[in-house]
Structure 1
């Protein structure tokens, strides 16, 4: 996503900050799916768009309460809360003081200013990548539905926990047995739910067209696509988040590529390169 589109989305959220909006409406305002917009915004800004909206509302509510022109009840309703109790809880977590305390002189409050996207001088470091084309691929997977907010949840553990659960239940080895020795590579596949703007599928599987007998497994077929491929180097999954961060902040602005709504995946080689945790394959198009 170009910086101007991200700024347009922020401007939309600011113009409608008191309305019942979320990142879904912001995504539509700039012509993106909720899935893609949520990813771009989260990795670029470091918070979700919904967190941004909540922080801006609570900041504005604090200013208005300090000025004394509104009651706690009216502020709760104005800034999108169903009850004074839920508003007080969120307000206290954000500001460190209650709405009633905010109406008193000397109360400590926090400001959260509107975001402004700026071009900064950076770079100077190597980012290795390659572009590869793949025709349609078929996977045998075990998959689960996640909410988009999982991408930047508080602990970042939802998907790793899914991997651990599948391992404990013995669901991964039967899939690997479908592949010949030396080519039992595992894939972590992520794709949007076509019927929902707020969720995505994540599957663990192998590249194989055979169907498993057990009901735990599904076939997942991708369409032909070009992929930007990055080596995630490190001892654990932290390097995947770092690769995504560099994809949005360095690769896209410098190359003119953008991510498409096709599934992306992590590729875990059975016989991988030393020091490489996995490869990140992101479907892209030019312009």
Structure 2
């Protein structure tokens, strides 16, 4: 059983006991930081969001079935007050707990049922190459995105296109920088530069990578399946081989065709182990 499957099993066995992220991480044998990234890529949502949605879904079912005490349901779901529970419940389902108990309908797609421990979709990975790179700098257009929201990253690349050719960049390569995973994550569409332009537009972001070793994975299928490769990297390979997930980048070269979504992509992940060893 992989670490993501272990996390799902632990959550499903214990979510009424209000397990913390640290509790779940201990059960899987990896750090909370590694767990957060691994779970998000493998399932499409942060582990804390999954836990919250599962609790609220079971609370909704209890109220729908006529639970006599809203406060008792709130406590069972891990909330210490009627007010906090009502606020979270309304945010999740668009109705109050009292309305749920009175039989008000909700969009069934808002319910979070248990993710089967074998339902996470992961690509088959070839063993990555290990490469070393000197320090380099990427400039580009960045923003924050949700794994469980609409995919608006292609629109970010379109917005960045007018800047290409104006930054003194290294030609023929494009970088998708990924990092700062929380309940959302940072993504930047950019290019490598030898030096940051003095007149860099204020809306562009600078990201510096230090000299380090990388694990380099290949994604050969359509771009729409890239999340499956990321899920396999961060949901299986990285935690199961003792690596520590850090800011990584997608590397596109001139073989990639943005019109067809084909041509192959490299994913460069810093080769740092949980212990700090290389």
TM-score (normalizing by structure 2): 0.68
> Of the candidates 184, 190, 207, which is equivalent to residue 205 of structure 1?
190
Q: CA deviation at 1:267?
A: 0.9
Paired position in structure 2 for 1:155 = 150
- Structure 2 residue 212 is matched with structure 1 residue 224: yes
Structure 2 distance, partners of 1:220, 1:88, is 41
Structure 2 distance, partners of 1:126, 1:116, is 19
- Structure 2 residue 166 is matched with structure 1 residue 174: yes
Structure 2 distance, partners of 1:60, 1:24, is 22
Deviations 1:22-63 (A, max 9, x none): x577447754243x4233113334543234213321343245
Q: How many residues align structurally?
A: 255
Structure 1 distance, partners of 2:37, 2:254, is 28
* Counterparts of residues 244-259 of structure 1 (less than 5 Å): 244-248=230-234, 257-259=241-243
> Of the candidates 54, 75, 91, which is equivalent to residue 52 of structure 2?
54
Structure 1 distance, partners of 2:102, 2:41, is 35
- Secondary structure at the counterpart of residue 262 of structure 1: coil
Paired position in structure 2 for 1:279 = 266
Structure 2 distance, partners of 1:272, 1:4, is 33
Q: In structure 2, do the counterparts of structure 1 residues 220 and 83 end up closer, same or farther at CA, with 3 Å as the change threshold?
A: same
Structure 1 distance, partners of 2:112, 2:164, is 48
- Structure 2 residue 37 is matched with structure 1 residue 32: no
Structure 2 distance, partners of 1:111, 1:231, is 30
Gaps of 5+ in 2: 105-110
Q: In structure 2, do the counterparts of structure 1 residues 18 and 82 end up closer, same or farther at CA, with 3 Å as the change threshold?
A: farther
Contact 2:144/2:186 (<8 A) preserved: yes
Contact 1:17/1:53 (<8 A) preserved: no
Deviations 1:227-258 (A, max 9, x none): 13213332xx31321322343567569xx535
- Secondary structure at the counterpart of residue 53 of structure 2: helix
* Counterparts of residues 1-287 of structure 1 (less than 5 Å): 3-4=2-3, 7=6, 10-11=9-10, 15=14, 17=16, 19=18, 21=20, 26-27=24-25, 30-34=29-33, 36-62=34-60, 64-65=62-63, 68-72=66-70, 74-76=72-74, 79=77, 80=79, 82=84, 84=86, 87=89, 90-91=92-93, 98-101=100-103, 112-113=113-114, 117=117, 127-146=125-144, 150=146, 152-157=147-152, 159-167=153-161, 170-175=162-167, 177-179=168-170, 183-192=171-180, 200-213=185-198, 214=200, 215=202, 216-234=204-222, 237-248=223-234, 257-272=241-256, 275-284=262-271
Q: CA deviation at 1:190?
A: 1.4
TM-score (normalizing by structure 1): 0.66
Q: In structure 2, do the counterparts of structure 1 residues 62 and 9 end up closer, same or farther at CA, with 3 Å as the change threshold?
A: closer
Q: In structure 2, do the counterparts of structure 1 residues 63 and 85 end up closer, same or farther at CA, with 3 Å as the change threshold?
A: same
